[in-house]
Amino acid sequence: MKGHLLILIALTALLTGCGEKFDASTDNLIRASYNGILKSLGGEEKEEFVRQYQLYTAPYELPIDPNDPGIDIAQNDIESLHGLSYGQVIDRVAKHEEFLETLQRDKDIQTLTELHKVFLDSRANIKQSMKELPVTLAPLGGDYMGVVAVKVELDNNASFAIEQFVLNVSITQRSTGEELFSDTKTADLSTDPLQPGYTYATSFGDQQIQEAFLNKNLSVQGYIYDVTTSDGRRVLSIMQDADYIQYASLQKTYPEEFMEIKEELGEPVI
């Protein structure tokens, strides 16, 4: 009976790798140790170890130091696994994956915080633009053809001359406020900047907007942003599309953290 028990213990140790050490002395011994661990695992555990081992030996970014800006790359030395039992190696690479997940989460939260600041600034800039640089959109009609174009007027009530701006035009459902259409158009006034106190007028053709003017259930709005002044400054900037997509994605990933960010930084003005 005792002999059978010893055989069982020896067989279990052989199958699980108990007592075996990871040898990082040479590339061949590293490969042999790695394969030895794989043989002791199966199914999902094996796949999980392969992934975690690759992460352990791959370069990764450290958190950004505000006192030393720039990307700082770190990488684990494979010799750090030398002498560990197979079980300790499995535990070490698993903990490193958890460490990387924590780093990524902290980075995501920092990014979400910065993007919320940009979003708040964007909404404030839109509100300021509507106040200082109001845009009027109206149908431009012909005698027999109905609406043939869209007339745009921009009043410069700001204190600076405008050399370039981007006009956003959107169509919304009056009853629900749902946005049905949005487009942008860029105006270049570099040869004749719009001075404070003056009005800029232009027109453009857009069938969808023209039809919206004929539909009493739809509302057409416009505002300008990303304004370039005559002295080269860029004012009233708003969040770029790529940033907004990332902002929305991170909100869904970290809903509780986003609530805390809003409590700290505030909600948008509009």
Which residue ranges form the domains of the chain, and what is each CATH number? 2-63+74-99 (no CATH), 134-235 (2.60.40)
The structure's pTM equals 0.81
DSSP per residue over the chain, as a string? -HHHHHHHHHHHHHHHTTT-B---SSHHHHHHHHHHHHHT--HHHHHHHHHHHHHHHS-EEPPPBTTB-S--EE---GGGGTT-BHHHHHHHHHHHHHHHHHHHHHHHHHHHHHHHHHHHHHHHHHHHHHHHS-EEEEEEEETTTEEEEEEEEEE--SSS-EEEEEEEEEEEETTT--EEEEEEEEEE-TTS-B-TT-EEEEEE--HHHHHHHH-TTEEEEEEEEEEEETTS-EES----HHHHHHHHHHHHH-HHHHHHHHHHH-----
Per-residue pLDDT 10s for the chain (270 aa) are 434 433 433 343 344 445 699 999 999 999 999 999 999 999 999 999 999 999 999 999 998 777 777 778 999 999 999 999 999 999 999 999 999 999 999 999 999 999 999 999 999 999 999 999 999 999 987 655 666 789 999 999 999 999 999 999 999 999 999 999 999 999 999 999 999 999 999 999 888 998 998 899 999 999 999 999 999 999 999 999 999 999 999 999 999 999 999 999 999 988
Q: Are 100 and 55 in contact (CB under 8 A)?
A: yes
